[in-house]
Amino acid sequence: MSDTHAYDAIVIGAGHNGLTHAAYLAKAGRRVLVLEQRHLVGGAAITEELRPGFKFTTFSYALSLLRPEIIAELDLVSHGFMPLYMRSHFAPMDNGDYLLLGPDAGVNRQEIARHCKADVDGMERFEHDTLRVRQFLRPLFDNAPPNLFSADPQDAEQVAWLVKHLGSADAKLMHDCVRLITGSIADFVDDYLESEIIKATICSAACVGIKLGPMSPGTGLNWLYLAMGEHDGIAGSWAFHKGGNGGFTEVLARAATASGAEIRLNSRVDHLITEQGQAVGVALADGTEFRAPVVVSSLDPRRTFLQIADPRELPADLVQTIQRFRFQGVASKVNFALDGLPRYPALEGRTDQYLGFVNVAPTVEYMERAYDAAKYGWYSEHPYLDASIQSMIDPDMAPPGKHVMSCFVMYTPHELKGASWPAHREAMADRVQATLRRFFPGFDDLVLQREVVTPDIIEERTGLSEGNIYAGEFFPHQMYVFRPAPGYSDYRTPIRGYYQCGSGTHPGGCVIGAPGRLASMRVLADTR
Amino acid sequence: MRTTPFYPRLRELNHSHMWGNWAGYLSATKYDLSSKHEYFGVRNAAGFFDTSPLNKYWIRGRDAERLCSYAFARDIRPVRPGRAQYTLWCDDAGFVMEDGVVFRTAGDEFLLTAAEPNLGYLRGLARAFDAEIVEATEDFASLAVQGPRSRDILAQLTPDVVDLPYFGFAETKVAGSQVLCSRTGFSGDLGFELFIPADQALPVLDAIIEAGTPHGLRPYGEEALNMTRIEAGLPLFGYEFTSSRYAFTHEERFTPDELGLGWTLRGLDDPTRPFIGREAILAERAGAEARWRTVGITMTWRDYYDLHASNGLLAIPDEVPVPWEVMIYDAEGSRIGYATSFMYSPILQRHVGIARVRPSHAEPGSEVFVEQTVNHEYVNVRALVTTLPFYNPPRKVAAR
Ligand SMILES: Cc1cc2nc3c(=O)[nH]c(=O)nc-3n(C[C@H](O)[C@H](O)[C@H](O)COP(=O)(O)OP(=O)(O)OC[C@H]3O[C@@H](n4cnc5c(N)ncnc54)[C@H](O)[C@@H]3O)c2cc1C
């Protein structure tokens, strides 16, 4: 690389993908500068002490998609990586009953049988079939998509690999893949299960972060995407990083800086600087310039192509594709500081149901109706909540005896019809609290403080357009070789030296690191 | 089957209803349905483990120190009252019989904990000394409280724990009972052990549970205990070795050096301290190279994953230590050792094992191959030799 620059590469944004990317480049000996607009690293993966002793996971709140190769290759354990075990999945029901799944397969059978005997093996068949799909798709997930639209022989080789791999599936496996990728999760689980609470539990996982209801085609794909995660090899299992996802991104920042990367906070990048179609650096909002022959944006496609780069330097069809790219964030967070543990009358005296997720989505219809509101530009009357009392898993999250509860809320569309979020934030949070009160009598009395994070706030603080948690919807036409645009799924851009490494690239969003890692392989190969 | 003084409470806490048999006492395998959950209690909050079945002996009398310094391979003489010491004892041929911890309660009084019964053996030795051995196993209920929060929890009950140094102990009052509280344990983490008069076991335990629950304290069973001690690189009687006293073959017995415990033998050539096995150990060290060295082995995520993925299987590591020895080979396929303990470490995110290998393969970084079963075939998987322990947080020995 050229010696006239102080840096070999500049990374825009110190979210987890920017940090992962920087760590890989630095580990390969490159001089890397990471520029972050905020006063802290992490982007959508941060932990903030909003009240003395109470730590809130402002945005993302659990870990599963993170690729195990990253943990190993960046030796994250030596920098403090510590995924804590989330032991259970608790789903309260309207009639006061519940579904409580835990770590023991035999006990889970008994719990499922309590609701529906046929679902015991139904669930096991569902799990086996979907594990096969997951196993089959994993090589696609973990490698950069081949460029289907290029004439380069190297690309042709990869396309040939893809075709061969797809050809290796048997008929059932291929059919299951296509049914999941194109269909609705509600239809898919109907083939296996009868019990409403068990179906709802699976369907809820398919609706996280996406502007679709469980009965919409496309939710199968979202379910499958999230099921690509694992904790200690267990597919679809989630962990809580010590100190929250902010604890995790601090680990990444340590790994990056230990390899020599420099992270500059409070440094908002205004635009890319190019010379003769080649990226040569960036300019900050305050006018400061940094130069490097490689500039990598971890921002979402709208910002990467339409704001940081000058769209006039890009092909018009790419610009149009990015303009059409769907964001439409629908998720919010309501985070609570609690004076004690909520009560669930049917489990009086027990607390083990809080050692993982608390999933408020008692029926498939409940979720579909929650989604209905979003279609028409409003937030759900009865929201679907994916909650977790994180201080139960990591006591360092709250003072002894006190708790923090993270509540992920669906559906709260970024665009409210004829209204704005500042006027409705508290009313939305009141609905969340009313929902919790309905299942956990006396919940209000426990609330010491609440933090309400709606899509406008997500957008404003992280830069994720329209507050979409994945940096772009998980629709089939926005995934794999189409993410973020056909022909640009290889982490490059039409501007030489300008790359993308954020969640808007393959495989996509979540605290996953794969975009950062795969993009680093591209940059390192291109600049050998 | 007998039960320990804590049993009435532990029975209520044991939601798994799984009990093991520790020397004829019920000992929880795990209290929760997942030992991984208990393990994280110890690693990220605090856990308590009932060690009551450990054998305990008083060694008292004018010659108590002389007896200890003769019976035990590690020199007890520098240990002041209020301090404890990890030790081991050997046979005349220099092979290890057992290990344990000695607490020096006074100039002429020691309390020994041991995995196995030793009353007859110690009494036999004591005949030549002005010292007596008193059986004390059932006089005490003993409890380990381990993990990063253990000090904060116990400090609510007795201020004496706050400044206890590593391997120090204090006789103090907890919940109105006189207890001996030491900064010792088997987890490789910050931790304490309490020796409580047996009839006071429940009130003391209840006070600890009450103080600890807001801190995430939970009980842990034998599986989680085993996981944490493997990460700490601590040998466990019955796994890493058995008593040379009961060996039928040379393969069944080991010297301190072979067990990686040679560090306990500082001052071996001090002629003022004869001890059982000394001459043989001196001869071993002067002679040919030892048969074995004790090392750590680790398997990378990549190697474990590829092994399964390339065979069409999911790679789901198991954190519960395997109950068998795992054979170790060199690159040519010759056997060069075996792992006595082997597990997936959730904290280290890789498989780890305590192993004995030939000295030729004992250098840290050496590549060895561990035998695994995949699709009903034996497959050798790459592993690296490391030093022990695997997990050793500074807080284990740090002052407050
Ligand atoms: C509310 C919420 C809950 C979620 N829950 C989970 C969860 O539990 N588990 C999970 O796996 N995923 C979750 N996600 C998704 C996941 O957090 C994101 O997909 C992921 O963190 C995005 O990472 P990134 O590095 O690609 O982008 P970001 O984290 O958005 O990072 C981009 C970074 O760039 C910075 N930046 C933006 N503009 C500029 C500029 N002009 N100059 C300099 N810096 C700039 C931002 O400040 C930010 O730090 C959640 C997301 C949200 C919003």
Q: Tell me the CA–centroid distance for residue B216 and ligand 1, in Å.
A: 30
State whether B44 and A394 contact (CB < 8 Å): yes
Q: Are residues A153 and A261 in the same domain?
A: no
Q: pLDDT, tens digit, for every residue of A431-472?
A: 999 999 999 999 999 999 999 999 999 999 999 999 999 999
Q: Are residues A253 and A211 in the same domain?
A: no
Task: Find, in chain B, the residue whose alpha carbon is nearest to that of A108.
Answer: B33
Give the position of tokens 């100039």. Answer: B107
> Which of A104, A233, A400 has the CB atom closest to B33's CB atom?
A104
| Other beta carbons within 10 Å of B318 | 13
Tell which of A69, A84, A228, A230 to mutate to test the B interface (max B CBs under 10 Å): A84
Which residue of A299, A304, A305, A408 sits with most ligand 1 atoms within 8 Å of its CB, as the best mutation to test the pocket? A299
What span, in angstroms and rounded, lies between the C-alpha atoms of A196 and A210? 22
Q: pLDDT, tens digit, for every residue of B53-63?
A: 999 999 999 99
* Residue at A392 is within a domain: no
The closest of A304, A307, A267 to A284, measured between CA atoms, is A267
Q: Are residues A122 and A223 in the same domain?
A: yes
Q: Are residues A221 and A256 in the same domain?
A: no
What span, in angstroms and rounded, lies between the C-alpha atoms of B312 and A339? 49
Q: pLDDT, tens digit, for every residue of B242-270?
A: 999 999 999 999 999 999 999 999 999 89
Q: Are residues A226 and A249 in the same domain?
A: no
Domain boundary among A231, A254, A287: A231
Q: Are residues A191 and A149 in the same domain?
A: yes
Helix ranges (H only) for A168-290 are 171-182, 185-190, 196-206, 219-227, 244-258
Query: Contact A357/A393 with Cβ under 8 angstroms?
Result: no
What span, in angstroms and rounded, lies between the C-alpha atoms of B185 and B100? 11
* CA-to-CA separations, A482 to A146, A324, A485, in angstroms, rounded: 11, 12, 5
Structure tokens at B263: 């560090």
Q: Tell me the CA–centroid distance for residue A372 and ligand 1, in Å.
A: 27
Structure tokens at A69: 């190769």
State whether A72 and B316 contact (CB < 8 Å): no
Residue A103 sits at the chain B interface (C-beta within 8 Å): yes
Q: Are strands B46-50 and B217-219 parallel, antiparallel or unpaired?
A: parallel
Q: What is the mean pLDDT of residues B93-112?
A: 98
- Residues 6 or more apart whose CB falls under 8 angstroms from that of A284 comprise A35, A267, A268, A269, A270, A290
Q: Are residues A222 and A269 in the same domain?
A: no
The closest of A212, A213, A227, A142 to A176, measured between CA atoms, is A227
Question: A3 pLDDT exceeds 60?
Answer: no
Pick the CATH number of B293-386 from 1.10.10.10, 1.10.1740.10, 3.90.79.10, 2.40.30.110: 2.40.30.110
* Residue at A446 is within a domain: no
Does the model's pTM come out above 0.90? yes
State whether B317 and A395 contact (CB < 8 Å): no
Structure tokens at A105: 């397969």
First to last CA, chain A: 8
Query: Contact A397/A337 with Cβ under 8 angstroms?
Result: no
Bridge partner list, B217: B46
Q: What is the mean pLDDT of residues B375-391?
A: 97
- pLDDT confidence of residue B393: 97
Q: What is the mean pLDDT of residues B379-389?
A: 98
Does residue A122 line the site of ligand 1, with CB under 6 A? no
Domain boundary among A210, A231, A252: A231
Q: Are residues A226 and A138 in the same domain?
A: yes
> Which of B15, B37, B45 has the CB atom closest to A395's CB atom?
B45
Structural domain span for residue A201: 106-231
Q: Is A72 helix (H, G, I), strand (E, B) or coil?
A: helix
* CA-to-CA separations, B231 to A297, B21, B172, B356, in angstroms, rounded: 40, 23, 31, 16
What average pLDDT is seen over chain A? 97
- pLDDT confidence of residue A2: 39
Nearest ligand 1 atom to the CA of A229 is: 11
Does residue A43 line the site of ligand 1, with CB under 6 A? yes
What span, in angstroms and rounded, lies between the C-alpha atoms of B141 and B178? 12
Q: For residue A242, list chain B residues with Cβ-Cβ distance below 8 A.
A: 44
State whether A107 and B319 contact (CB < 8 Å): no
pLDDT band for A151, please (50, 70, 90 cuts).
confident
Q: For residue B302, list chain A residues with Cβ-Cβ distance below 8 A.
A: 69, 72
The closest of A481, A516, A404, A307 to A61, measured between CA atoms, is A404
Which residue of A10, A34, A60, A289 sits with most ligand 1 atoms within 8 Å of its CB, as the best mutation to test the pocket? A60
Q: Are residues A15 and A128 in the same domain?
A: no
What span, in angstroms and rounded, lies between the C-alpha atoms of B141 and B56? 10
DSSP B196-259: EEGGGHHHHHHHHHHHHGGGTEEE--HHHHHHHHHHTT---BTTTB--GGG-SSGGG---TTTT
* Residue at A364 is within a domain: no
The closest of B5, B390, B109 to B229, measured between CA atoms, is B390
Structure tokens at A43: 């982007």
Structure tokens at B365: 């970084």
Q: pLDDT, tens digit, for every residue of B110-121?
A: 999 999 999 999
What span, in angstroms and rounded, lies between the C-alpha atoms of B25 and B110? 25
Tally the C-alpha atoms within 13 A of residue A309's C-alpha that lie toward its C-beta: 32
Helix ranges (H only) for A100-195 are 105-115, 118-141, 153-167, 171-182, 185-190
Q: Are residues A210 and A282 in the same domain?
A: no
Structure tokens at B374: 């995949």
* Residue at A50 is within a domain: no
Contact residues of B toward A, CB < 8 A: 15, 32-34, 36-37, 40, 44-45, 149, 214-216, 300-302, 305, 309, 314-317, 319, 344, 346-350
Structure tokens at A180: 């999941």
Question: A414 pLDDT exceeds 80?
Answer: yes
**Counted domains in chain A:** 2
Q: pLDDT, tens digit, for every residue of B308-339?
A: 999 999 999 999 999 999 999 999 999 999 99
CATH number of the domain where residue A33 is located: 3.50.50.60
What span, in angstroms and rounded, lies between the C-alpha atoms of B23 and B44? 30
Bridge partner list, B83: B104, B168
Does residue A387 line the site of ligand 1, with CB under 6 A? no
* Residue at A101 is within a domain: no
Tell which of A232, A242, A352, A403 to mutate to test the B interface (max B CBs under 10 Å): A232
Q: Quote ipTM for the complex.
A: 0.95
What span, in angstroms and rounded, lies between the C-alpha atoms of A198 and A363? 9
Question: Using alpha carbons only, how large is chain B's radius of gyration in Å?
Answer: 21
Fold observed for domain B7-54+138-220: Gyrase A; domain 2 (3.30.1360)
Q: For residue A340, list chain B residues with Cβ-Cβ distance below 8 A.
A: none
Q: pLDDT, tens digit, for every residue of A261-309?
A: 999 999 999 999 999 999 999 999 999 999 999 999 999 999 999 999 9
- pLDDT confidence of residue A5: 64
Structure tokens at B273: 């301290």
Does residue A144 line the site of ligand 1, with CB under 6 A? no
State whether A107 and B317 contact (CB < 8 Å): no
Tell which of B14, B34, B320 to mutate to test the A interface (max A CBs under 10 Å): B34
Bridge partner list, B373: B378
Q: What is the mean pLDDT of residues A123-139?
A: 98
Residues 61-100 of A with CB under 8 A from B: 68-69, 71-72, 76-77, 81-85, 87
Q: Are residues A218 and A292 in the same domain?
A: no
Does residue A16 line the site of ligand 1, with CB under 6 A? yes
Question: A4 pLDDT exceeds 70?
Answer: no
Domain with CATH 2.40.30.110 in chain B: 293-386
* Residue at A66 is within a domain: no
Residue A426 sits at the chain B interface (C-beta within 8 Å): no
Give the position of tokens 């999230």. Answer: A226
Q: pLDDT, tens digit, for every residue of A208-259?
A: 999 999 999 999 999 999 999 999 999 999 999 999 999 999 999 999 999 9
Query: Contact B350/B273 with Cβ under 8 angstroms?
Result: no
Residue A400 sits at the chain B interface (C-beta within 8 Å): yes
Bridge partner list, B69: none
> Which of B34, B215, B348 has the CB atom closest to A87's CB atom?
B34
* Residue at A142 is within a domain: yes
* CA-to-CA separations, A408 to A207, A209, A293, A380, A454, in angstroms, rounded: 11, 9, 40, 13, 10
Q: pLDDT, tens digit, for every residue of A192-209?
A: 999 999 999 999 999 999
Domain boundary among A231, A257, A290: A231
* Residue at A507 is within a domain: yes
Q: Tell me the CA–centroid distance for residue B103 and ligand 1, in Å.
A: 54
Q: For residue B44, list chain A residues with Cβ-Cβ distance below 8 A.
A: 82, 84, 242, 394-396
Domain with CATH 3.30.1360.120 in chain B: 7-54+138-220
- Residues 6 or more apart whose CB falls under 8 angstroms from that of A525 comprise none
State whether B36 and A85 contact (CB < 8 Å): yes
Residue nearest to atom 4 of ligand 1 (CA): A60
What span, in angstroms and rounded, lies between the C-alpha atoms of A343 and A101? 18
Q: Tell me the CA–centroid distance for residue A231 and ligand 1, in Å.
A: 21
Q: Is A247 helix (H, G, I), strand (E, B) or coil?
A: helix
Q: Are residues A187 and A122 in the same domain?
A: yes
- pLDDT confidence of residue A152: 87
State whether B34 and A242 contact (CB < 8 Å): no
Query: Contact B185/B192 with Cβ under 8 angstroms?
Result: yes
Q: What is the mean pLDDT of residues B382-390?
A: 98
State whether B214 and A233 contact (CB < 8 Å): no
Q: Are strands A331-338 and A278-284 parallel, antiparallel or unpaired?
A: unpaired
**What percentage of chain B has pLDDT greater than the value 70?**
100
Q: Tell me the CA–centroid distance for residue A204 and ligand 1, in Å.
A: 22
